[in-house]
Structure 1
């Protein structure tokens, strides 16, 4: 069985025609005066899914989250949760909890009292509160810090307190708005995996808003790419990266090289694309691209090989000159200016300590790639 990228888990209810969405945004629009933040958007999230809303600032992702939490009401459309229409239900009566980027911990309360706060508000008996708080402290590995105040904790520890407080009430859905934005890079990477493990352990549905592509790719089962209040593509991280639906998605997620051209010939599922300067690119699995259609061929830098000579077995090879080199330790990134002037980015893993075919600035070079290495885009 072949797959686009690695499969983190077999969980994939969105592929089951009989599966019912747990959260359903049905033609939702949200306007603030003349500004449309969310525009006629429909979206389905499934129970126990770790779902990410990814997009640039102002794309509508946080507005969508706030409408689900009940802090904003849709201008039109419906939001359903577990079969219930959420219209008119105030935030405190919704079976969701929201964790903010600021964490919003009470500075005068200890860790355990912060976690217990929401449970006390609900009138839970003290014995049950103590038991639940102990469970949460163990879950987030903060048992030794139970008596400390927030200012006595590190950023990562405060983040875990906020998380424990959010899940202590056992909501059906946990909403996370840029949850790791305040952490440094290394701690953020560690916490991403902690969040994934925690979500699996609790069996909750997580919806996270982020503008960090790597964060969404790491944690989410599926990602919705948003732009100007609309969803541009919903797919697994591997599908978004390897099979983007449009030029926008290809450019937004990761680094990509884009070759604009026209389909000169089609044979079965394969096409020959001719660029403006006559460069020929052979592509397998070209989707619905018809003959004479204007298309873009998108290919990721790591799929491109750079060499001083044209590889004898290369189906696709283009000549150019090394314009820039960046040595990053685990990989080397080459910027190659092709003879037609286009700049191409290629990334080579440094799998060995010795380079057999060293290249430097201004060297003549060939870039080459397999016919199944990229994707043809018609949008």
Structure 2
């Protein structure tokens, strides 16, 4: 059976009409003076879900997190956690914990004392604290570093201490605000998978705020893409990438080529889009767009092939000139300037060490793609 990309795991309560959301934002608005940070936003998050709020700076994602944590109150609307309205409940009485990008570790305390701090504040018996701290150290693989101070640790180790301290109190929900922003690229990639494994092992609900698309795509079960305080799309990483619902989402997540035009004809099996230059693109279907509608055909760079000759079997083929080339090791990125002036980005996997059809700058080239390779966007 055909599907959009690979299946992540057998967990999709959002597809169950009888499943009740664990966290619910209901028509939430938050204003700071004349500025509206969150605008009449509604959103459902389910128990044990790894959920990501993704967007550019100023889109409202951190404000949502702070309202759930209790550091801000909504101007209007409700926030519910496990059916309870959180309005008026102070942060320290909410069953949530927040981990900040700065980690906020106590520099004069050892690793184990940092982890134990919140448990002591709650008055947990000493023996229970020692047992819980030992569990947390084992969980984040920091047992040999228990007596060290934060300045004696690497960035990744400090991040794990902050994480252990955040989950030591067993909150119902863990809020993570740009949790990996301070790490270098390689360590960030490693830690993403560690966070996913940790969330699975603990069975907690994780809500992460990030501006890093790759981070959200790697870790989250679902992603909410925000812009100017509003939700643009909520979907799984695969759906967000392969089936965006608007030009904004398609442009925001990953790289994309947009062919603007009109639906020239459409039936049950195929449709045609005619661009301003007269070039035609044949696609599987135009969705709900009727003939004559202004649309964009969005296609990802890896779905496009580049060759020196027109492929004989290609339904869609457009000619141009190689404008730029970037060799990235695992793939080569081509910028091809079509004869109508549009520059198209195509990325081809370097599956072999030697290329059969090498192209260089200023070469004439053809781009080609399948009718089912992209998606029609009406907004």
What interval of TM-score do these two structures reach, taking the shorter chain for normalisation? over 0.9
> In the TM superposition, what whole-angstrom CA distance separates every residue of 1:115-149 from its partner, at most 9, and x where no partner exists?
00000000000000000000000000000000000
Q: By how many angstroms is 1:273 displaced?
A: 0.2
Q: By how many angstroms is 1:269 displaced?
A: 4.8
Within a 5 Å distance, the mapping from 1:169-248 to structure 2 comes to: 169-248=169-248
Q: Tell me the C-alpha RMSD between the 2 structures.
A: 0.6
Normalised by the length of structure 2, the TM-score is 0.99
What is the distance in 2 between the residues matched to 1:25 and 1:283? Answer: 38
What is the distance in 2 between the residues matched to 1:275 and 1:369? Answer: 16
Q: Can you give the 5+ residue segments of structure 1 that lack an aligned partner in the other structure?
A: none
Residue equivalent to 1:113: 113
Within a 5 Å distance, the mapping from 1:90-169 to structure 2 comes to: 90-169=90-169
What is the distance in 1 between the residues matched to 2:28 and 2:340? Answer: 46
What is the distance in 2 between the residues matched to 1:299 and 1:248? Answer: 14
Residue equivalent to 2:263: 263
What is the distance in 2 between the residues matched to 1:4 and 1:173? Answer: 30
Contact 2:266 2:285 in 1 (8 A): no
Normalised by the length of structure 1, the TM-score is 0.99
Contact 1:269 1:287 in 2 (8 A): no
Query: Greater CA deviation, 174-183 or 7-16?
Result: 7-16
Q: By how many angstroms is 1:241 displaced?
A: 0.3
Residue equivalent to 2:5: 5
> In the TM superposition, what whole-angstrom CA distance separates every residue of 1:145-188 from its partner, at most 9, and x where no partner exists?
00000000000000000000000000000000000000000000
Contact 1:269 1:286 in 2 (8 A): no
Q: Which runs of 4+ in 1 moved over 4 A?
A: none
Residue equivalent to 1:62: 62
Contact 1:47 1:204 in 2 (8 A): yes
Q: By how many angstroms is 1:289 displaced?
A: 1.2
What is the distance in 1 between the residues matched to 2:269 and 2:377? Answer: 14
Secondary structure, aligned partner of 1:43:
strand
